[in-house]
């Protein structure tokens, strides 16, 4: 039992699943365009929520948000279902596959057997497509992997019902309506406005202010928690920024690619210039990650390293504040 689905590798799981499912259904839209229209660029720090024994930090909005906003702005309809039992979840998936409907799933990363050990941690907001089934295995298109792969029936059930923060509860989703024509220009403008609003939000743990909040926390972590825990917290920041399919730089490079595409569609040269600026900001995020990783791997020779990397983060926040104010003006 197999659908005629085509696998395309992408940088990020949710964008890739959305792009691949839409291509299968006749709407050819790139991963960066999915991300930009869906207002995927974000920053939030949630000290009261622990993921992998560290404060939750995210460079993107809640799981499902990107595809939902994309769908709303393009007039698509997406069916989403969560399940209370593994049997019902498996039955619904099998029914879709019989009807040639490849299906997106939200899963936990930790028990994905095809992931290298260093990438398997307790994170429940990963996405993949199931496009077929044999007697023993499900056929898997994980967009962050170069090629298609498989999971046994038991393995897929396990990751669909992973426990912890953002538990997927067997969530399955797929398009059920795509209009004959879509308003890309209008959707792009809405996506950009939403992102500017988020990144310039007057809340201390969100957007540019959130980045500054984390920078100030980094200074205090060694004294508050000890070096070992401070380093674990730093490692979590780097992991969420660089190692979970963000395309590097906390999605900044993907967003730059979106702005390049948007510049052509909207015939707006300012967006092309801002795409180049966002690439530079992405490089600074990468530099921050490299320097932070030297600290938690005990390879840094700098004195006062926590203050140094906190200063790097503050400089990035200042650049992003200027950037998003310019982006807001560029589409007026």
CATH of the domain at 86: 3.90.70.10
The reply to whether 53 falls in a domain is no
pLDDT in the model for residue 302: 65
The reply to whether 59 falls in a domain is no
The reply to whether 245 falls in a domain is yes
The reply to whether 66 falls in a domain is no
* Domains identified in the chain, total number: 2
pLDDT in the model for residue 120: 77
| Dist CA 53 CA 55 (whole Å) | 7
My answer on whether 158 and 262 are in the same domain is no
- Give the range of the structural domain holding residue 119, as residue numbers without chain letter: 13-37+77-177
My answer on whether 126 and 205 are in the same domain is no
Q: Which of 261, 242, 258, 259 is nearest to 250 (CA)?
A: 242
For the chain (332 residues), the mean pLDDT of every run of 10, in chain order, is: 89 92 96 97 93 89 92 97 97 97 96 85 88 97 95 97 92 96 97 98 97 97 92 93 84 97 98 98 96 85 83 98 98 91
* Per-residue pLDDT tens digits for 140-192: 999 999 999 999 999 999 999 999 888 999 999 999 999 999 999 999 999 99
My answer on whether 266 and 326 are in the same domain is yes
Give 147: exposed, middle or buried? Use CB within 10 Å, 0-12, 13-18, 19+: exposed
The reply to whether 68 falls in a domain is no
Last residue of a domain, one of 123, 153, 177: 177
The reply to whether 314 falls in a domain is yes
My answer on whether 297 and 161 are in the same domain is no
My answer on whether 149 and 211 are in the same domain is no
pLDDT in the model for residue 246: 81
My answer on whether 107 and 160 are in the same domain is yes
My answer on whether 214 and 126 are in the same domain is no
Identify whether the C-beta of residue 86 lies closer than 8 Å to the C-beta of residue 170: yes
Q: Model-level pTM greater than 0.85? A: yes
My answer on whether 312 and 212 are in the same domain is yes
The reply to whether 60 falls in a domain is no
pLDDT in the model for residue 159: 97
The reply to whether 214 falls in a domain is yes
Coil, helix or strand at residue 115: coil
pLDDT in the model for residue 247: 84
DSSP structure string for 180-229: SS--HHHHHHHHHHHHHHHHT-S-TTBHHHHHHHHHHHHHHHHHHH-HHH
My answer on whether 201 and 163 are in the same domain is no
pLDDT in the model for residue 11: 86
pLDDT in the model for residue 232: 94
pLDDT in the model for residue 243: 78
Place of tokens 């308003």: 183
196: tokens are 């500017």
My answer on whether 234 and 122 are in the same domain is no
pLDDT in the model for residue 171: 97
Tally the C-alpha atoms within 13 A of residue 47's C-alpha that lie toward its C-beta. Answer: 9
Last residue of a domain, one of 162, 177, 192: 177
My answer on whether 101 and 198 are in the same domain is no
Helix residue ranges per DSSP H, 8-77: 13-24, 31-37, 65-74
My answer on whether 262 and 282 are in the same domain is yes
pLDDT in the model for residue 300: 64
Last residue of a domain, one of 137, 161, 177: 177
| Dist CA 256 CA 251 (whole Å) | 9
| Dist CA 193 CA 286 (whole Å) | 26
């Amino acid at each position: 039992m197999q659908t005629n689905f085509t696998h395309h590798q992408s940088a990020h799981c949710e964008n890739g699943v959305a792009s691949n499912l839409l291509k299968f259904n006749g709407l050819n839209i790139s991963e960066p365009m999915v991300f930009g229209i869906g207002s995927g660029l974000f920053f939030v720090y949630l000290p009261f929520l622990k993921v992998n024994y560290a404060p939750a930090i995210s460079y993107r909005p809640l799981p499902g948000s990107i595809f939902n906003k994309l769908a709303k702005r393009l007039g698509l309809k997406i069916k989403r279902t969560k399940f209370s039992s593994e049997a019902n979840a498996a039955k619904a998936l099998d029914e879709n596959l019989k009807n040639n409907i490849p299906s997106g799933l939200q899963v936990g990363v930790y028990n994905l057997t095809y992931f290298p050990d260093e990438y398997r941690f307790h994170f429940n907001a990963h996405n993949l497509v199931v496009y077929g089934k044999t007697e023993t295995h499900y056929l898997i298109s994980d967009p962050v992997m170069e090629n298609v792969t498989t999971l046994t029936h038991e393995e897929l059930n396990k990751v669909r019902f992973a426990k912890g923060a953002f538990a997927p509860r067997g969530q399955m989703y797929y398009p059920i309506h795509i209009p004959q024509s879509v308003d890309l220009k209008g959707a792009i403008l809405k996506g950009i406005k939403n992102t500017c609003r988020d990144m310039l939000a007057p809340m201390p743990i969100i957007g540019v202010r959130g980045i500054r909040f984390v920078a100030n926390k980094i200074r205090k972590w060694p004294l508050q928690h000890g070096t070992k825990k401070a380093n674990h917290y730093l490692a979590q920041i780097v992991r969420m920024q660089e190692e979970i399919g963000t395309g590097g730089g906390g999605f900044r490079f993907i967003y730059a690619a979106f702005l390049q595409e948007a510049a052509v569609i909207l015939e707006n040269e300012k967006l092309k210039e801002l795409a180049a600026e966002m690439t530079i900001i992405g490089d600074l995020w990468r530099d921050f990650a490299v320097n932070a990783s030297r600290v938690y791997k005990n390879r840094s020779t700098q004195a006062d390293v926590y203050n140094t990397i906190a200063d790097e983060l503050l400089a990035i926040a200042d650049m992003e504040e200027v950037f998003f104010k310019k982006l807001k003006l560029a589409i007026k």
